[in-house]
Amino acid sequence: MAEPQLLLNYTGHLPECPTWSAEENALYWADILEGEIHRYHLPTAEHTVLSFHEEVGCFALRKRGGFIVAMRNGIWLADKHGLLQRKVCDNPSNPQLARFNDGGTDHQGRFYAGTFWGPGDYNGALLMRIDNNLTPKVIQCDIHGHNGLAFSPDKRWMFTSDTPNGVIYRTPVDEKGEPGRREVFRQFKAGEGIPDGAAMDVEGCYWSALFDGWRIARFSPQGEQLEEYRMPVRCPTMVCFGGDDMKTLFITTTRENMDAEEVAKYPLSGAVFTLPVNVAGMKKSRFIEC
């Protein structure tokens, strides 16, 4: 079985939201707590960093160029240099208590971004959708920490995870992105790790980064674990597919809240890894504005 390999000589604080650009042959990712979007161009090994004034919870590449970026206080359109162009909406949560976290696009190029409820006293986070005409809408609540956004190949299901609560959900969605009643896809037990960021393959299987679980797991459309890949660090944060054949898994990891002893013992915490797999992943749509 293949083992994860380092993509580049880099360790971040809280890398998340890996996003493959086939047009550029480049991987993008955010470092949430550093307020950065990174770009790594595989053919030349050129690594560039864009800095923002707040935490960058998630982002998507835009079809027109540049980014749509969910920061602590709101969601913005930005150009390819990271210059903010237009505010799409405010954070509908209290931004002092809930920053944006995981997100991405669906098959129709709509953007989704969820929040993480910092106090942890109840499920105070939410998930919102930005439509192609830039209309924002809150579509789910009762979440502690939103993660794991992915969409099934048949466009019928939206998958999400609530990381602190250790659960993956699936929700039926219609062609307009309107959700039905969400249901539990898989509940995790103590010691298994908790589901963080995720991606979908062309067979409809869901790949989850198991935070605090030292592994990446692949689940069937029925929620059965089919495969797992061990990681050299405790906390992988998210995965995405890329490469010429979409059979490379890119994996972000974190060193957030780790003490000096753990970082010294596992110095690759916060690195970005690659892993060759046997099935192609779904391509992420760019955000489409009409």
| Cα–Cα distance for residue pair 18/15, rounded to 1 Å | 8
| Cα–Cα distance for residue pair 46/56, rounded to 1 Å | 21
Q: Which of 247, 252, 242, 249 lies closest to 272 in space, CA to CA?
A: 252
**Tokens describing residue 246:** 């979409």
Q: b/e for 88-125, b at 16 or more Cβ within 10 A?
A: bbebebebeebbbbbbbbbbebbbbbbbbbeeeeeebb
In the set 102, 106, 196, 201, the catalytic residue is 196
Instruction: Determine whether 196 is an active site residue.
Output: yes
Q: Would you list the DSSP string of 24-68?
A: TTEEEEEEGGGTEEEEEETTTTEEEEEE-SS-EEEEEEBTTSSEE
104: left (phi over 0), alpha (psi -120 to 50) or beta: left
| Cα–Cα distance for residue pair 83/66, rounded to 1 Å | 9
> Helix, strand, or coil here: 113?
strand
Residue 47 vs residues 6, 7, 42, 278: alpha-carbon distances, Å? 14, 11, 9, 28
CB 69 within 8 A of CB 62: no
- Residues with active-site annotation: 196
